[in-house]
Structure 1
Amino acid sequence: MAFWLRRLGLHFRPHLGRRMESFLGGVLLILWLQVDWVKSQKIEQNSEALNIQEGKTATLTCNYTNYSPAYLQWYRQDPGRGPVFLLLIRENEKEKRKERLKVTFDTTLKQGVFHITASQPADSATYLCALD
């Protein structure tokens, strides 16, 4: 099993801090080195960070190329903590919901989209998409 993570930051404040950025960069580098065949895989996000107003819907996009994943997972990581699993969506599912969270997975567009409705300051975190 191999998967590729891409971090997507959702912020209600300017940044998470250099220590967190360094930690996440190290984790992504280790994954890249361990999963040799994924080197040609390209994952893009809609933006490095997303600043939104409280109560609005936050939308994070994970685009990929050169790969046909069976499923896409989303994780949340708070500063100083490990990633926490949020949702998994399979390639044959169009949409999945859990409380205020909604994810869509379009293998034709090669895109996964993560929505948080009625966003709150407590939603500030780094969000990770993982493909497998």
Structure 2
Amino acid sequence: VCICAAGHSKTLRSQLEAELSTFVQGNPCLMPLSSLPWVLLAFTFSGSGVAQKVTQDQSDVSSQVGQSVTLNCRYETSWTAYYIFWYKQLPSGQMTYVIRQSSLVTNATKDRYSINFKKADKSISLTISALQLEDSAKYFCALSVSQC
């Protein structure tokens, strides 16, 4: 999900896809299973018969400085204990950790970020309050069996 005022060209889209691929390959702890709304990465966790899947089907979001925005993510997993991470990719391409949610605790909060976690529905929402210009970025949710 992208929070910004302008759309992205196909060239930038390709660049973002390549950077995400490099990020995923360089971070074995993570298991992000979907990313950009136009990219669906499906992996099967080694040794399990069930794929872990994350879906972000929300289109790009535009908002004003000072307002709030909510981003949605749905997932499928056979794991009983897991973490869901939110990351943002800055316009420079740098991936930055935002917040994580454990499947074993209630809704996480951190600074201007708050989580609405619905384990039974296998859905999670990230709300960013008091938006700032530096919040303009691509946002990714990722599923991991560990907290690293």
TM-score range, shorter chain: 0.7 to 0.9
Residue equivalent to 1:25: 17
Which one of 92, 100, 109 corresponds to residue 112 of structure 2? 100
User: CA offsets per residue over residues 33-59 of structure 1, 9 Å max, x none?
Assistant: x97416954433251211112221110
- Match in the other structure for 1:112: 124
Aligned CA RMSD, in angstroms, stands at 2.7
- Going from structure 1 to structure 2, the CA distance change for 1:94 and 1:114 (only over 3 Å counts) comes to same
SS in 2 for 1:49: coil
The question of whether the paired residues in 2 share the 8 Å contact of 1:93 and 1:105 is answered with no
Amino acid at match of 1:37: T
Match of 2:44, SS state, is helix
**Map of 1:1-132 to 2, 5 A cutoff?**
8-11=1-4, 13-27=5-19, 36-37=43-44, 40-68=51-79, 70-132=82-144
Q: TM-score, normalised by structure 1?
A: 0.76
Q: CA deviation at 1:77?
A: 0.8
Within 2, Cα distance between the matches of 1:51 and 1:127? Answer: 13
- TM-superposed CA distance for 1:83, in Å, is 0.8
| Structure 2: 5+ residue stretches without partners | 25-32, 34-40
Greater relative contact order, per chain length (Cα 8 Å cut-off, separation 6+): 1
Where structure 1 has 5 or more consecutive residues not aligned to the other structure, the ranges are 1-7
Q: Which has the higher helix share?
A: 1
Query: Given the superposition, is the C-alpha separation of residues 99 and 19 from structure 1 closer, same or farther in structure 2, using an over 3 Å criterion?
Result: same
Q: Which letter maps to 1:24?
A: L
**Could you tell me which amino acid in structure 1 is paired with residue 73 of structure 2?**
C
